[in-house]
Amino acid sequence: QITLKESGPTLVKPTQTLTLTCTFSGFSLSTSGVGVGWIRQPPGKALEWLALIYWNDDKRYSPSLKSRLTITKDTSKNQVVLTMTNMDPVDTATYYCAHNDFWSGSLDYWGQGTLVTVSS
Amino acid sequence: NFMLTQPHSVSESPGKTVTISCTRSSGSIASNYVQWYQQRPGSAPTTVIYEDNQRPSGVPDRFSGSIDSSSNSASLTISGLKTEDEADYYCQSYDSSNLVFGGGTKLTVL
């Protein structure tokens, strides 16, 4: 079955760079039509899409955060890494990774999420 | 880039039917599939509808999805409401460059 799990720091200081890793199983990111996305959710607020990477290494970023985000994949390790620069307290959120089906645009399997707090 | 607009909250009694709307601001609602996610407090979202009107296995047929080109909107309908349906619901779609979520609707079953 498909599973995903996010890992990374729970606390970062303002201006620091956040690096999150999504480790997955049950699928391969070299399979046509497969993607992995990152989504975040500030406490008590709505879901916000951040970035997507596809099987062919095509990448998509939220227009509002594009300058701060980088998404990469390591197919051999079944991992996707998201970096976000210049962290600010407003970036405090639960960060999720999810399996994406390119053809439907669906995020059909989600990780449990990891809470990242930005504070000095 | 487009937006998806949902009502902030809806409420209905157990056993009744509720419909949550999701209106696309620009571009046709029919041009890209719409998904619906359920999120209970403290949990990750799960898919209840994908590709406009398809239910994943395990999702009861009380959940249904549709799109309406005349209003450029999608709808999630839940019939025979149960207290366990109380949750936040998010619509989601995409275009050639982006994924977009609606702002979420809090469903209260009282």
For B60-83, how does the pLDDT look when each residue is reduced to its tens digit (9 = 90+)?
999 999 999 999 999 999 999 999
Per-residue pLDDT at B35: 98
CA dihedral A32→B97→B19→A107, nearest 10 degrees, is: 30
User: Which residues, at least 6 apart from B69, have a Cβ–Cβ distance to it below 8 Å?
Assistant: B28, B29, B30
For chain B, give the percent of residues with pLDDT over 70.
100
Q: CB-hemisphere CA count at 13 Å for B91?
A: 32
Cβ B45–A108 below 8 Å, yes or no?
no
Answer whether A108's CB lies under 8 Å from A1's CB: no
> Would the pLDDT of A32 be above 90?
yes
A105: which chain B residues are within 8 Å (Cβ-Cβ)? Answer: 32-33, 35, 92-94, 99
Residue A3, min C-alpha distance to chain B (Å) = 13
Would you state the pLDDT for residue A69?
98
CA–CA dist B44, B39 (Å, integer): 6
**Confidence at A42, pLDDT banded by 50, 70, 90:** very high
Per-residue pLDDT for B45 more than 90? yes
Evaluate if residue B1 carries a pLDDT over 90: no
- A4-21: average pLDDT: 98
Mean pLDDT across chain A, nearest whole number?
Answer: 97
Q: How far is CA B99 from CA A10, A38, B55, in A?
A: 26, 10, 20
CA B45 to chain CA centroid, nearest Å = 12
Contact B93 A48 (CB under 8 A): no
Give the mean model confidence (pLDDT) for residues B24-47: 96
How high does pLDDT run on average in chain B?
Answer: 97
Cα separation, B17 vs B19, whole angstroms: 7
Strands A93-101 and A34-41: antiparallel
Chains A and B: how many Cβ contacts under 8 Å? 62
Q: What is the pLDDT of residue B97?
A: 87
Q: What is the model's pLDDT at position B96?
A: 86
What pLDDT sits at residue A98? Answer: 98
Instruction: Using the predicted structure, report yes or no on whether residue B107 has a pLDDT greater than 90.
Output: yes
In contact, A20 and A86? CB cutoff 8 Å: no
The string of pLDDT tens digits covering residues A48-83 is 999 999 999 999 999 999 999 999 999 999 999 999
Ramachandran assignment for B97, one of left (phi > 0), alpha (psi -120 to 50 degrees), beta (any other): alpha
Q: Does the distance separating the beta carbons of A106 and B50 come in below 8 Å?
A: yes
The DSSP code sequence of A99-116 is EEETTTTEEEEE---EEE
